[in-house]
Amino acid sequence: MRPLAVIGNVNVDLILGPAAPWPKAGTEIIVDHDELRVGGAAGNSALAWQALGVEFEIAANIGSDQFGRWLSEAFRHRSDKWPVRPEKTTLSVGITHPDGERTFFTTRGHLPRFSLADVFAVIEGTTLQGGYALLCGSFLTDDLTADYDAFFDWADGHGITVALDTGWPLDGWTDDNCAATRAWLSRSGIALLNEVESTTLAGIADPIEAARQIRSHMPEGAIVVVKRGPDGALAIGPDGSLVSVTAPVVEVVDTIGAGDVFNAAFLAALASDEPLVSCLMAGTEVASRAISTLPRTYGGPTSLQEPVR
């Protein structure tokens, strides 16, 4: 199996819900469930790899408070070299809704200060050589994002394929954010986008044509994946061919981190040299299991091949 790493945002998620309709100011409501868990795109992907028995590295930072210590403990030895920032740890409160969607309230916390030096404190290029680096949280990790050119140079120099999932920009998909994302994708070997992101970037309503347009601006042999939620996923492969899969029908508990879990299972299968269609199936199966279980589960080490029932 090729080496794997995830680089980006790890924070605390407090999940509450479901809530509908949105309560009036000054009132209080009771919800059916709550869960305090590791969050952030990098954290969600790493948790999935950990549950699936996949070997990986994770580069992140934490704040200098009890939440930071709690995050570090969740990843045991993998967090030994994480830098500790003097800021409070970033906290996201996610309010779920009956349709499975959610609303986030997030503090800035420690994430903007995650830097390229922090990445190099954890990951050695020679160790990850020939493998995949999942790069996520682009619009939250200000210091690292400012050094993306140097990061891509480092990855290229060690034969590391970057799989990019930027996440949602805090100020929306402005022209500047779209231009920045296109520039990052031009140096990435894999794009892991949801349907809205892909159609917005391409300016094309059809997700298949949007994926083809995005791939035309990426390096030769790149893979573009479009995550479509209950409609499954599609990909344009290294040879330009279209591959698609459907998603299992499940009863949704909450969709928080679904795309991050998909990324983890997809890349784990890809790192094992599975065919592209098998990688898409692994992503949709494991993500479907995660969003339909409470407490959240991902399955075990054999779950990349097991269908969700």
User: CA angle 97-198-49, nearest 5°?
Assistant: 65
Whether the model clears a pTM of 0.75, i.e. scores above it, the answer is: yes
Question: What is the pLDDT, as a whole number, of residue 309?
Answer: 45
pLDDT in tens, the chain (309 residues): 999 999 999 999 999 999 988 899 999 999 998 989 999 999 999 999 999 999 999 999 999 999 999 999 999 999 999 999 999 999 999 898 888 677 889 999 999 999 999 999 999 999 999 999 999 999 999 999 999 999 999 999 999 999 999 998 989 999 999 999 999 999 999 999 999 999 999 999 999 999 999 999 999 999 999 999 999 999 999 999 999 999 999 998 878 899 999 999 999 999 999 999 999 999 999 999 999 998 889 987 655 655 554
SS (H, E, C) the chain: CCCEEEECCCEEEEEEECCCCCCCCCCCCCCCEEEEEEECHHHHHHHHHHHHCCCCEEECCEECCHHHHHHHHHCHHHHCCCCEECCCCCEEEEEECCCCCEEEEECCCCHHHCCHHHHHHHCCHHHHCCCEEEEECCCCCHHHHHCHHHHHHHHHHCCCEEEEECCCCCCCCCHHHHHHHHHHHCCCCEEEEEHHHHHHHHCCCCHHHHHHHHHCCCCCCCEEEEECHHHCEEEECCCCCEEEECCCCCCCCCCCCHHHHHHHHHHHHHHCCCCHHHHHHHHHHHHHHHHCCCCCCCCCCCCCCCCCC
Q: Which residue has the tokens 């679904």?
A: 258
Q: Which residue has the tokens 């009890």?
A: 66
Tokens standing for residue 159? 């034969």
Return d(Cα 22, Cα 274) in angstroms, integer. Answer: 44
Return d(Cα 227, Cα 198) in angstroms, integer. Answer: 9
Return d(Cα 179, Cα 100) in angstroms, integer. Answer: 31
Question: What is the pLDDT, as a whole number, of residue 27?
Answer: 96
Query: Of 176, 198, 218, which is closest to residue 259 (Cα–Cα)?
Result: 198
**Neighbouring residues of 242: CB distance < 8 A, sequence distance ≥ 6:** 208, 234, 235, 236
Return d(Cα 223, Cα 246) in angstroms, integer. Answer: 18
Q: Which amino acid is at 11?
A: N
Please say whether the beta carbons of 147 and 116 come within 8 A. Answer: yes
Q: How many CA atoms lie within 13 A of 38 on its CB side?
A: 24
Q: How many CA atoms lie within 13 A of 28 on its CB side?
A: 1
Return d(Cα 260, Cα 191) in angstroms, integer. Answer: 13
Question: What is the pLDDT, as a whole number, of residue 295?
Answer: 83
Question: What is the pLDDT, as a whole number, of residue 96?
Answer: 87
Question: What is the pLDDT, as a whole number, of residue 5?
Answer: 98
Return d(Cα 185, Cα 222) in angstroms, integer. Answer: 10
